[in-house]
Chain A
Amino acid sequence: MLENRSLGSAIYRLVLKGAVAATARPGQFVHVQVGTATDPLLRRPFSIAGIDRPKGEVTIYYRVTGRGTALLTRVRAGETLSVIGPVGKGFTVPAAGELLLVAGGIGLFPLLALLAAVDRLAVRVKVLWGGENRRFLEDVGRATLFQMGVDYAVATVDGSMGHPGLVTDLLQAALAPETAAGQQAESAPSGGQAGALVKSPEGRTAITVAACGPKGMLQAVAACCGRAGVPVEVSLEERMACGIGACLGCACLVRTAEGTPVRRRVCKDGPVFDGREVVWDETG
């Protein structure tokens, strides 16, 4: 472990050196043992946010939500962590067209790895990011987005920055540029180059969306893309035990091409799934 630093808003950035970097791909995750005692017992999954293959480093960001992540904050640079990874199937990296990255909260991080992996001369990328408030976005990664020189727009629930409301409003606007897009862009005053929304007429059919965030947001994103006929990949979260496909603890439900609902393992068959295939509400 090379670095474990607080960014504020209970978010930490952790840099690991090891074999994981050699084969890691955007959207995959690492399964980290947070302590050596039996309580807490299980490993914790964290998405890979940065991959530096030459240096053999991967970066993850984590939010302190409970006992495991609280313990993780105590690990110091130079110490060794037991990490399984990279695990899971990642995002498709498009070779052309336009890519919209839709992030909710800390769902931004796995998308950063995808952002770094696309050839931005060939693909037009835009990030749509929603969070609670300005403070959170400033702490967590606005500087990173700025550094990466990517076109982005933000939305905050409390309206303290960018579009007041949900990130899916931005998505809706981006997928229907002739209607609301202009307005949305202007309502994001500190959102960098927010004016340049996706409206390349020749690229309309080649838009793809990749999303990561809370389940409700992903469901809304999938519905929105469904209506617009745009392919969408979503990164799902589920509580995990083994993280490698053996325990069936992390199951989700997807629909096959024939429409039959089948179980998939988020850790092994995902965490990235085709948004059109996911069955969001099992009871419904």
Chain B
Amino acid sequence: MKPVDLTTRLAGLTLKNPVMTASGTYGFGEEYAAFYDPSRLGAITVKGITPLPRRGNPAPRVVETPSGMLNAVGLENPGLDEFLTTYLPRLEKLKTPVIVNISGFSLDDYALMAAALPEDSCIAAVEVNISCPNIKQGGLAFGTDPKSAEAVLSATRKNTKLPLIAKLSPNVTDIVTLAKAVENGGADIISLINTLLGMRIDIKTRKPVLGNIMGGLSGPAVLPVAVRMVYQVYQAVRLPIIGMGGISTWQDAVEFMLAGASAVSVGTANFVNPLAPLEIIDGLAEYCRQNGFTAVREIVGLAHR
């Protein structure tokens, strides 16, 4: 029997399989190397970087929720220069396509980072994060206003030939408007969803648990919201979609692909089961085999028929 073709195409980008890891949940690529060879993944997405180093928010930064977690890391990262000099050479050694997630506080920030990322390295694409709920200015503001979202994408588009992924926030009334805006701005791919704004209160101390009071919700609890948004955006926009939000099993991944995702990203599940991405790759192949598909690409968007 012929093996199932797991390759997937995202605009100009071809991946050996459609399973990647989500930004902020996979460090800078090395933390999970003790469990398996990262080159088995379709791609890895690294922690979001900003032009200057950021110390992030005070502790506690994570708290559990029913079938999920809230995080308020606040984009702690070493900054662009340190990323390029220290982290990029190490990522190169992992022999796997790397997606670099960028965040900023102004259009110039995004433009500057897009220009600085080399086009001839392991960097396969740039993920423009206009959806981080954990930083005060910028962040989410770019991702909730269609005009700003479009502007960020055009500013980055001018400065790099690398494929551009626009990462959208679920904290909006109409996801389709935002998806169309980033398409106009020049995005090649759309990824959704980032975390949902939430909070918890400790009933003993009667105070918010997180140091930053509010944080971003992720994990299995957000899956139905994410699937709905992938489904809606698939109908409205031509760009390929990377689906994420609560994926922890191959069944979850199949659901996202049926909704219209050409690839999926695993986030919070890494924390619980480091081998989750590998189990999902195997499960996708098995699902295709059992249902008579020769390539995983064939199942993308089938829920729309």
Interface on A for B, CB 8 Å cutoff?
A: 33, 38-43, 82, 84, 238-252, 261-263, 268, 282-283
Contact = CB atoms under 8 A, between A and B. Distances in A.
Contacts of B71: 241, 247, 249
A213 B63 CA distance: 21
B249 to A, nearest CB: 10
Interface in B41-77: 47, 55-56, 58-64, 66-69, 71, 73, 76
Nearest to A37: B67
A283 B58 contact: yes
Nearest to A283: B58
Contacts of B31: 242, 244-246, 268
Contacts of B274: 84, 244
Given A42-B69, A247-B25, A239 B76 contact: no
A246 to B, nearest CB: 4
A248 B74 CA distance: 10
Contacts of B59: 238-239, 250-252, 282
12 contacts: A41-B220, A42-B69, A241-B69, A243-B271, A244-B34, A246-B31, A249-B61, A251-B59, A251-B76, A261-B55, A263-B56, A263-B76
A41 B61 contact: no
B1 interface: no
Interface in B71-111: 71, 73, 76
A43 B27 CA distance: 18
Contacts of A245: 27, 31
User: On chain B, which size bracket covers the interface?
Assistant: 20 to 34
A246 B27 contact: yes
Interface of B: 24-27, 31-32, 34, 47, 55-56, 58-64, 66-69, 71, 73, 76, 219-220, 248, 268, 270-274
A43 B56 contact: no
B278 to A, nearest CB: 15
Given A241-B62, A263-B76, 20 more contacts: A38-B67, A38-B219, A38-B248, A39-B66, A39-B67, A42-B64, A239-B61, A239-B63, A242-B31, A243-B271, A244-B31, A245-B27, A246-B25, A246-B27, A246-B270, A246-B271, A248-B27, A249-B73, A250-B61, A282-B58
Given A42-B272, A244-B31, A244-B32, A249 B62 contact: yes
A68 to B, nearest CB: 8
A238 B62 CA distance: 9
Contacts of A43: 271-272
Given A246-B26, A248-B73, A241 B271 contact: yes
A217 B124 CA distance: 49
User: In this complex, which of B62, B270, B274 has the most chain A Cβ atoms within 10 angstroms of its Cβ?
Assistant: B62
Given A33-B272, A242-B270, A248 B61 contact: yes
